[in-house]
Structure 1
Amino acid sequence: MPQDHDSTTADDSGVRVIKKYPNRRLYDSATSTYITLAQVKEMVIAGERVRVRDAKTSEDLTRSILLQIILEEEAGGAPMFSEAALANIIRFYGHTMQGFMGAYLERNVAAFSEMQSRMQDQAKSFSPEAWAQYMKLPANPMGAVQEQMQEQMKKQTEQMLEMFGLKR
């Protein structure tokens, strides 16, 4: 088992520290065990904050590990990003508004996550009778909220792309 030079299991902000060794293995300092990329993904899904550091240099590798997880997910079946969306994201690299695009995406994903969380919280309070009534409705009200949000995000994105001379 690797020697934990700084014996750190979490940094000062409560972030779980994962060390990446030259053999490409990931070592969870909190459990003193080797873990897989899938386990890092599970931690992220569970809402745990993780920080991946190179075991020798302490370089922060978190972004590259998260991107690797996304790449595997995108290649594994039902991708989240269309080719057009990926092409548009690529076009912003090196563009003067690159930082703005990142912040824009971050805000919209956070808003979407918040909406999803609220919907899940509301759904937990439904009784079986309420669910039965909900299922009898001709149109799903939650679906309508999602559609409105998607339409709003689509309009905002189109406006932003037009502002920078980029069109679909």
Structure 2
Amino acid sequence: MADPQKPLLIKRYASRRLYNTETSDYVTLEDIAEFIRGGRDVQIIDLKSGDDLTRQYLLQIVAEHESRGQSVLPNNVLTDLVRSYTTQATSVVPEFLAASFEMLRDGQSKMLENMTKANPLTAMPGMEAMRAQQEAFMKAMTRGELPKLGSSMPASDDDDTPAGTEEEIEEIKKQLAELQQKLSKMDK
């Protein structure tokens, strides 16, 4: 059985095909991206030379997603990143980016943890639904599946109605109104 704590070893053959050593089959860049989204670290090495090619392939995955219109990095961030390679700040930028992503992951974990802990607010009507929505949002965000700014939430497959039925929306509105009433009573 594979150890999920160890990086998944991928070997690149001379033909440039990528071989998953755990499952003994060939994989694509998209497969590797799925492993990473699933929380698994990967290490890609050249079979002949033994060189570590992980960075090269991770950059290629990011570049392919960006080229397909799945933009994550705004132009100004990309521009600043290119500039950082040509300035004295080169040593600071990688550490800053690593620290920023670490803070983001920690913040997401703590927020989800706080929403699931025993909390007096969790007993209020609608809080479980709000917690589930927040958890789904956080999972989508970590997989890069968020809608672009200014766009609406994903629509259901069969019509233009946002995911969920009208009844569910009305129930959520009702629960929010009840929650607001309880909160205003607590202020008094």
How does the TM-score come out when normalised to structure 2? 0.60
Alignment deviations for residues 137-167 of structure 1 (CA, whole Å, 9 cap, x no partner)? 78xxxxxxxxxxxxxxxxxxxxxxxxxxxxx
Residues 59 and 129 (structure 1), Cα distance of their counterparts in 2 relative to 1, 3 Å cut: same
1:81 Cα offset (Å) = 0.9
In structure 2, stretches of 5+ residues that fail to align are 132-171, 181-188
Partners of 1:76 and 1:122 in 2: how far apart? Answer: 36
Which residue in 2 is equivalent to 1:61?
A: 53
Greater C-alpha radius of gyration: 2
Matched, 1:120 2:112: yes
1:10-21 equivalent positions in 2, closer than 5 A: 14-21=6-13
How big is the shift at 1:92? 0.6
For residues 53-90 of structure 1, the C-alpha deviation after alignment (integer angstroms, 9 at most, x for no partner) is 01111110000110011111112223011111111111
The residue that corresponds to 1:51 in the other structure is 43
Q: Please give the alpha-carbon distance, in whole angstroms, between the structure 2 residues aligned to 1:76 and 1:25.
A: 22
Q: Which residue of 2 aligns with 1:98?
A: 90
Question: Structure 1 residue 130 and structure 2 residue 122: aligned?
Answer: no
Identity %: 30
Q: Which runs of 5+ in 1 are unaligned?
A: 1-8, 139-168
State the TM-score, normalizing by the size of structure 1: 0.66
Q: Provide, for residues 95-139 of structure 1, a one-character-per-residue CA deviation record: whole Å limited to 9, x for no partner.
A: 22201111011101110111122223344565774235786278x
Report the Cα distance in structure 1 between the residues aligned to 2:46 and 2:103, rounded to whole angstroms.
Answer: 32
Question: Number of residue pairs matched?
Answer: 128
In structure 2, the residue matched to 1:76 is 68
Instruction: Give the Cα–Cα distance (whole angstroms) in 2 for the partners of residues 49 and 100 of structure 1.
Output: 24
Classify the secondary structure of the residue corresponding to 1:51. Answer: strand
Q: Hey, what's the Cα distance between the residues in 2 that align with 1:69 and 1:124? A: 34
Which range is displaced more, 26-35 or 125-134?
Answer: 125-134
Q: Tell me what 1:163 maps to.
A: none
Q: Secondary structure at the match of 1:97?
A: helix
Aligned with 2:48: secondary structure? coil
